[in-house]
Amino acid sequence: MAAAVFDSVAGDGPDVVLLHGLFGMGSNLGALARGLQHDYRVHSLDLPNHGRSAWTNSMALPELAQAVQQWMVHRGLETAHFVGHSLGGKVAMQLALEAPYRVDALVVADIAPVAYPPSHDAVFAAIGAVAEAACRSRSEAATLMAQHLREEGVIQFLLLSLQRDEAGVYRWRFNHPVLLSQYAALRAAPEPSAAFDGRTLFIRGTESDYVSDAYRPQIEQLFPQAEIIDMAGCGHWLHAEQPGRFNQHVGAFLDG
């Protein structure tokens, strides 16, 4: 994959790379970036087919990890700490498993190294409805999405990835046809070359079912040094629901 990866950088110190989730962009982890930039040089990436990064025809985890490696070479980074949420966590895990020499420490937010069943049918329906309607306002897009989605928070999250083109029509920043066609690859488990023996932290929301206790054997097998922390009262978007607590957990772990 020769995807050009868009990034933004803030702060000075050891390098930390932040990887966002599906349908997102690097700015989704902005609260964490601001919390870390006093002690670290923080790189917020847009994954391929998201945000301002290049569009490609594949979303296989090894290819996404390769795109991140190519970005590291371009930026002259030999190693970095990685923090990934959801899909970004899977990409970070894939990178750690196939290129452990690139990863100093790994933080995975509310995702496990397993294959997941499909669960985004309503989201894809909402995204498709907006794309077909050629909306000229965010409120029009929100109204369309509400016909498919009950969670206002999900609608507001998706609205962040709408941008207006030169004709005044709102278009998705992410490549939704490829995300749909590659949905099975996005749900797949990372493909390990070997276990990652480096420092690893999994943070999960107690109101989320993405990292159940049933997944502990897979976590322990692939990440034998892993620590798991629960954030009470949080769902899947724990970094946005309780940013202060989330930032504290990440900062304390990276500080070692």
Per-residue pLDDT of the chain (256 residues; tens, 9 = 90+): 445 899 999 999 999 999 999 999 999 999 999 999 999 999 999 999 999 999 999 999 999 999 999 999 999 999 999 999 999 999 999 999 999 999 999 999 999 999 999 999 999 999 999 999 999 999 999 999 999 999 999 999 999 999 999 999 999 999 999 999 999 999 999 999 899 999 999 999 999 999 999 999 999 999 999 999 999 999 999 999 999 999 999 999 999 8
Distance between CA atoms of residues 22 and 145, nearest Å: 17
- Listed in sequence order, the residues at least 6 apart from 36 whose beta carbon sits closer than 8 Å to its beta carbon are 11, 16, 42, 247, 250, 251, 254
- Select which of 86, 176, 239, 249 is catalytic: 86
Distance between CA atoms of residues 230 and 105, nearest Å: 19
- The token duo for 198 is 């480096």
pLDDT number for residue 256: 86
Start-end of H helices in 116-197: 121-133, 138-145, 152-159, 176-181, 183-187
**Are residues 72 and 82 in contact, defined by beta-carbon separation less than 8 angstroms?**
no
**Are residues 175 and 51 in contact, defined by beta-carbon separation less than 8 angstroms?**
no
Domain ranges for the chain, please list them: 7-115+188-255, 121-181
- The token duo for 196 is 């990652």
DSSP H/E element including 42: strand 41-45
pLDDT number for residue 2: 42
Q: Which of 67, 89, 87, 79 is nearest to 7 (CA)?
A: 67
**Is 86 in the active site?**
yes
CATH of 7-115+188-255, picked from 3.40.190.10, 3.30.9.10, 1.25.40.80, 3.40.50.1820, is: 3.40.50.1820
pLDDT number for residue 1: 40
Q: Quick one: 91 exposed, middle or buried, by C-beta within 10 A (0-12, 13-18, 19+)?
A: buried
Distance between CA atoms of residues 15 and 133, nearest Å: 42
CA distances to 120, 130, 131 from 140, in Å: 21, 9, 12
Strand partners, 106: 82, 200
Distance between CA atoms of residues 244 and 256, nearest Å: 19
Amino acid at site 103:
V
- Select which of 43, 50, 81, 236 is catalytic: 236
Distance between CA atoms of residues 239 and 231, nearest Å: 10
Amino acid at site 253:
F
pLDDT number for residue 199: 98
**Are residues 120 and 154 in contact, defined by beta-carbon separation less than 8 angstroms?**
no
